């Protein structure tokens, strides 16, 4: 009996959907077992974002075009490649504060507010000359994390293919390979930690 091969992109989509069902906190590695599946703990924890970062990001985005709250959250996520995913609890109170300060104007239509910079808000953005905060998440270090995540997706797609179409012997061999890979990864982490400890003792 022949089995159709699962395209890697479809397997990736399935993995992302499975990760999303684990909870609403974002994708990541489940310590009870599983593959790294996207933004979240796989990046070494949530990025350090202050209230000032949310404020600056909103002002930069609204300087480009009027947006509603959900658009702002989407734009921040996309521009940080998914590393920074602001919550409604951080975005909407900041928008309200900016509106109270006279930097933002909200225009409500059909129950949805669209936010626009006032003249004072535009002047503030132009006077500060600061780079958008999401640019901090585009460093070479995060490029390495993206590459590592992509390999994780590819391995996960291959494992799913074995699970769907592999023989018992192939599944056994795949499990052995994964167990060996896991041991080697932890060994690398252990060696790195030992090297750090040795250096600190000197």
Domain positions in the chain are: 8-44+140-197, 51-130
3-state secondary structure the chain: CCCCCCCHHHHHHHHHHHHHCCCCCCCCCCCCCCCCCCCCHHHCCCCCCCHHHHHHHHHHHHHHCCEEHHHHHHHHHHHCCCCCCCCHHHHHHHHHHHHHCCCEEEEEECCEEEEEECHHHHHHHHHHCCCCHHHHHHCHHHHHHHHHHHHHHHHHHHHHHHHHHCCHHHHHHHHHHHHHHHHHHHHHHHHHHHHHHHHHHC
41 neighbors 85 (Cβ within 8 angstroms): no
User: What is the predicted pLDDT for the residue at 20?
Assistant: 44
User: What is the predicted pLDDT for the residue at 195?
Assistant: 52
User: What is the predicted pLDDT for the residue at 133?
Assistant: 86
Pair of tokens at residue 64: 């480009």
Task: Work out the number of other CB atoms within 10 angstroms of the CB of residue 32.
Answer: 6
User: What is the predicted pLDDT for the residue at 32?
Assistant: 36
Residue 50: burial class (beta carbons within 10 Å; 0-12, 13-18, 19+): exposed
Task: Work out the number of other CB atoms within 10 angstroms of the CB of residue 108.
Answer: 9
CATH of domain 51-130: 1.10.10.10
d(CA 19, CA 144) in angstroms, rounded, equals: 22
User: What is the predicted pLDDT for the residue at 24?
Assistant: 38
Pair of tokens at residue 95: 């928008």
165 neighbors 3 (Cβ within 8 angstroms): yes
User: What is the predicted pLDDT for the residue at 171?
Assistant: 95
Beta-bridge partners for 108? 113
CA 195 to chain centre: 30
User: What is the predicted pLDDT for the residue at 110?
Assistant: 78
Question: Which residue stretches of the chain have pLDDT < 50?
Answer: 1-3, 18-45, 140, 200-202
């Amino acid at each position: 009996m022949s089995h159709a091969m699962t395209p890697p992109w479809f397997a990736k989509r399935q993995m992302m959907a499975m990760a999303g069902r684990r909870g609403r906190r974002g994708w990541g590695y489940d310590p009870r077992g599983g593959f790294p599946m996207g933004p979240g703990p796989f990046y070494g924890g949530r990025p350090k974002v202050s209230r000032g970062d949310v404020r600056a990001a909103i002002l930069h985005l609204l300087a480009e075009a009027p947006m509603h709250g959900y658009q702002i959250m989407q734009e921040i996520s996309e521009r940080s490649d998914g590393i920074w995913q602001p919550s409604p609890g951080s975005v909407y109170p900041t928008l309200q504060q900016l509106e109270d300060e006279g930097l933002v104007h909200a225009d409500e239509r059909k129950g949805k507010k669209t936010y626009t910079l006032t003249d004072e808000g535009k002047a503030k953005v132009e006077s500060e000359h600061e780079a958008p905060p999401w640019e901090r998440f585009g460093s070479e270090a995060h490029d390495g994390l993206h590459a590592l995540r992509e390999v994780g997706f590819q391995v996960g797609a291959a494992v799913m293919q074995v699970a769907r179409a592999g023989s018992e012997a192939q599944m056994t061999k795949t499990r052995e390979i994964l167990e060996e890979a896991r041991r080697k990864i932890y060994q690398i982490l252990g060696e790195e930690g030992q090297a750090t400890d040795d250096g600190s003792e000197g």
